Structure 1
Amino acid sequence: MTPSPPPDDPLSPGLGAALSRLGKALEALELAVAKRLEDEMTLADLEEELAVMQDDRSRLALDLDAALARAITVEKNRDEVVRRIDRASASVAAVLGVEPPRGDRE
């Protein structure tokens, strides 16, 4: 350990001021490091939330594709049912000897 300069030394006031500035600089550095660590933790949380949202988006896109495929299948089946009903109606009308009804379906 270095002995401190005697109080009547002309460098003593400058050394005290330098030590004070050094102490303030160290405090500022500690605050900056703490802030940086906090920001990095917040960034990590945001990145994790973004990853979860991207997974949800992918899952929802797959669900939407499946729902659209089901809707197309249902529509095709409905069209087939309408055609069959029209044919059956025409067959019944022919057996009864009447004019088949004109369907306004669709």
Structure 2
Amino acid sequence: MAAGKTVEMAVMGLKAALANLENAIDVRFERERDQSEVDGEVRRVHADRSRLAQELDQSEFRANRLEEVNREVSRRLVTAMETIRAVLDR
């Protein structure tokens, strides 16, 4: 009878070890899935950052160009006003 109990205890220990192994595997897969999701999110954030940096560069270029055009228009208006004054003063 003692041998039967020993075998039963060994089988129970083996079942417990298998259950622990399955749980460890499940936890490992879950961590890998979570890490994969984090990696994907990091890639999306980097892609968004690159896109936003490019859009910012384009916006800064446009703003600088508008500033240049604004200065030119302002210069031409001053010239036109001075010409009109000179014509009126004659």
1:45-80 residue CA offsets vs partner (Å, 9 max, x unmatched): 221121122111101100110001100100111011
The match for 1:43 among 23, 35, 38 is 35
Name the CA distance, whole Å, in 2 between partners of 1:85 and 1:26: 87
Distance 2:5 2:48 in 1: 64
Q: Extract unaligned runs of 5+ from structure 2.
A: none
Aligned partner of 1:17 in structure 2 is 9
CA RMSD of superposed structures (Å): 1.5
Task: Please report the TM-score for the alignment, with normalisation by the length of structure 1.
Answer: 0.77
Question: Equivalent pairs: percent with the same residue?
Answer: 33
Moved over 4 A (4+): none
Unaligned runs of 5+ in 1: 1-7, 99-106
Tell me which of the two structures has the higher relative contact order, counting C-alpha pairs closer than 8 angstroms and 6 or more residues apart: 1
How many residue pairs get aligned? The number is: 90
Counting only pairs closer than 5 Å after superposition, residues 27-106 of structure 1 correspond to structure 2 as 27-97=19-89
Q: Which has the larger radius of gyration?
A: 1
Q: Quick check: which one's helix share is greater?
A: 2
The letter of the residue matching 1:36 is R
